[in-house]
Amino acid sequence: MNAERIDGPGDIRIDDIPEPTSRPVTALVTGAGQGIGRAIALRLAKDGANIALVDINNEKIAIVAKEIEQIGRRAATIVADVSDRDQIYAAIDTAEAELGGFDIIVNNAGIAQVAPISEVDPDSVRQILSVNVEGVLWGIQAAAKKFIERGVKGKIINASSIAGHEGFAMLGVYSATKFAVRALTQSAAKEYATHGITVNAYCPGVVGTDMWVTIDERFAELTGAEKGATFDQFVKGIALGRAQTPEDVANFVSFLAGPDSDYMTGQAVLIDGGIVYR
Ligand SMILES: NC(=O)C1=CN([C@@H]2O[C@H](COP(=O)(O)OP(=O)(O)OC[C@H]3O[C@@H](n4cnc5c(N)ncnc54)[C@H](O)[C@@H]3O)[C@@H](O)[C@H]2O)C=CC1
Ligand SMILES: CC(=O)C(C)=O
C-alpha cells in the first residue's frame, strides 16, 4: 500500500488534507462592542485572527480590544456606522493598514424594532433598514471589492436570525430586514463565487444580550406583559430548553470563518437550539 494513502474508499492522500492556515488572518467584526459581536471577535481571536473591531460605541470596543490583546492577538478599534457606506469602506482600509491584511468580514451589527405593523412609521422603518440591510449590503460590497483587488479568497459572514426564516408578531419590520439579509447572502454568493469568495449567514434564536432586554421591555409596554415574561415565553419554545449564549453563536461563526466551511456558500443557517425548522 502507498504510505501516503489513507485506508478506505476514494482516492484521498494525506497531502490533500489542508494544513490549518499558517499566517494570522485579519477579521473585521461590526457591532463588536458587546453581545454576539464581542463573542465572535473573542472567538476568532482565539482561533488565531487579528481583529478589527467596528462599532458606533468607542468605549465598548476599547474594552474588547484589551480582551483580544490578552488572548495574544492584535486589535484595531474603528468607530464607524455601518449604515454609512463611506465609513465602511474607510473602516476596511484602516483594518488593512493597521493589521496588515483583510480576509474575513462579519456583518454583525444590527438593531431591533418592536412594533405592530399598524404602528410603524417611515422614519423608524428607514432607520432599521439602513442599519440591518444597508449595513450588511455595504459590508458585502466593500469587502468583496477589497478581496478581488487583493486576490484574497475571503469570507463574508452576515447576521440574519430566526426572524429571517419566519415572521414574528410585533417584529414584522425587523423580520423583513433579516429576510433581506438572506437574499443578499444568496445573491452575493452567486456573484462572487468565481473569485473564490464565500458568503454565508448565521441565524441565531433567542440570545441573552442587551438587544433582548430592549425587545422584552418594548413587548411589556405594548402588551402589558410583565418584564421578562416575553423572553421567558420565547425560551419555553426552544427545544434544547435554554436561552442561547453569544458564545453558542460565535462557535458557529468560527466554523464559517475557518477552512472547514470552504465548500459552503449562499447558506443562512439556523443555530437556534430548535425553534424554527427549515
Ligand atoms: N440577540 C438575539 O437574540 C439575536 C440577535 N441577532 C442579530 O445578531 C446581531 C447582534 O445582536 P446582539 O449582539 O444581540 O445586539 P446588541 O444590541 O447587544 O449589540 C449590537 C452592537 O451593534 C452596535 N451597533 C448598533 N448599530 C450600529 C451601527 N449603525 N454601526 C455600527 N455598530 C452598531 C451596538 O453599539 C452594539 O455594540 C444583530 O444583527 C441581531 O439582529 C439575531 C438573532 C437573535
Ligand atoms: C432578536 C431576534 O433576532 C429575534 C427575536 O428573533
**What ligand is nearest to the CA atom of residue 244?**
1
pLDDT in tens, 31-46: 999 999 999 999 999 9
What b-and-e string marks burial along 102-113, b requiring 16 or more CB atoms within 10 Å of the CB? bbbbbbbbbbbb
Strand order in the sheet with 104-107: 75-79, 50-55, 26-30, 104-107, 155-159, 198-204, 268-271
**Do the beta carbons of residue 174 and residue 112 sit within 8 Å?**
yes
Query: Across residues 107-119, what is the average pLDDT?
Result: 98
Counting atoms of ligand 1 from 1, which one is nearest the CA of 60?
A: 37
Whether residues 48 and 161 share a domain: the answer is yes
Residue with cell 479568497: 153
- Tell how far the Cα of 106 is from the centroid of ligand 2, in angstroms: 18
Residue nearest to atom 4 of ligand 2 (CA): 163
Instruction: Please indicate, yes or no, whether residues 106 and 215 belong to a single structural domain of this protein.
Output: no
**92 and 143 Cβ atoms separated by less than 8 Å:** yes
Decide if 89 is catalytic: no
Output the CA 32–ligand 1 centroid distance in Å: 8
For the CA of 37, the closest atom of ligand 1 is: 13
Task: Specify if 81 maps to a domain.
Answer: yes
- By DSSP bridging, strand 75-79 and strand 198-204 are unpaired
Determine the average pLDDT of the residues in 155-169. 98
Residues 221 and 144 in one domain: no
Q: What is the pLDDT of residues 173-228, one digit of tens each?
A: 999 999 999 999 999 999 999 999 999 999 999 999 999 999 999 999 999 999 99
The residue range of the domain holding 72 is 26-205+245-271
Query: Are 156 and 215 within one domain?
Result: no
> Does residue 13 lie in a domain region?
no
Quick check: is 186 in a domain?
Answer: yes
Q: Taking residues 148-176, report their average pLDDT.
A: 98
CB of 58 sitting under 6 A from ligand 1: no
Q: Could you give the number of structural domains in the chain?
A: 2
Residues 111 and 200 grouped into a single domain: yes
User: Residue 14: what pLDDT?
Assistant: 77
Distance (angstroms) between ligand 1 centre and the Cα of 37 equals 7
Q: Is 20 part of a structural domain of the chain? A: no
Which of the four pLDDT bands, split at 50, 70 and 90, describes residue 16?
A: confident
Please give the model's pTM, rounded to 2 decimal places. 0.95
pLDDT at 17 exceeding the cut of 80: no
pLDDT tier for residue 1 given thresholds of 50, 70 and 90: very low
Q: What is the pLDDT of residues 43-99, one digit of tens each?
A: 999 999 999 999 999 999 999 999 999 999 999 999 999 999 999 999 999 999 999
Residues 150 and 227 in one domain: no
Together in a domain, 153 and 113: yes
Q: Is the pLDDT of residue 6 over 70?
A: no
**Do 2 and 10 meet the contact criterion of CB atoms below 8 Å apart?**
no
User: Tell me, what's the pLDDT at 19?
Assistant: 64
Q: Do 138 and 256 belong together in one domain?
A: yes
| pLDDT tens-place string over residues 116-153 | 999 999 999 999 999 999 999 999 999 999 999 999 99
Name 277's Cβ contacts closer than 8 Å, sequence gap at least 6: 270
Q: Determine, yes or no, domain membership for 164.
A: yes
Is residue 12 one of the residues assigned to a domain?
A: no
Catalytic residue among 89, 174, 192, 202: 174
Phi and psi based region of residue 225 (left: phi greater than 0; alpha: psi -120 to 50; beta: remaining): beta
Probe ligand 1: pick from 43, 56, 60, 271, max atoms within 8 Å of CB? 56
Residues 167 and 74 reside in one and the same domain: yes
pLDDT at 8: 57
CATH of the domain at 113: 3.40.50.720
Residue 3 has pLDDT above 60, yes or no: no
13 pLDDT band, cuts 50/70/90, is confident
**Does 34 contact ligand 1 (Cβ within 6 A)?**
yes
Q: Cα of 205 to ligand 2 centre, how many Å?
A: 6
121 and 227 part of one domain:
no
| Residue 7 maps to a domain | no
Q: How far is CA 274 from the centre of its chain?
A: 19
Is 8 inside any structural domain? no
Residue 96's alpha-carbon distances to 137, 148, 260, in angstroms, are 20, 14, 24
Q: State the ipTM, two decimals.
A: 0.99
Same domain, 237 and 146: no
> Where does the pLDDT of residue 22 fall: very low under 50, low under 70, confident under 90, or very high at 90 and above?
low
> Is residue 178 domain-shared with residue 211, that is, in the same domain?
no
65: three-class secondary structure by DSSP: helix
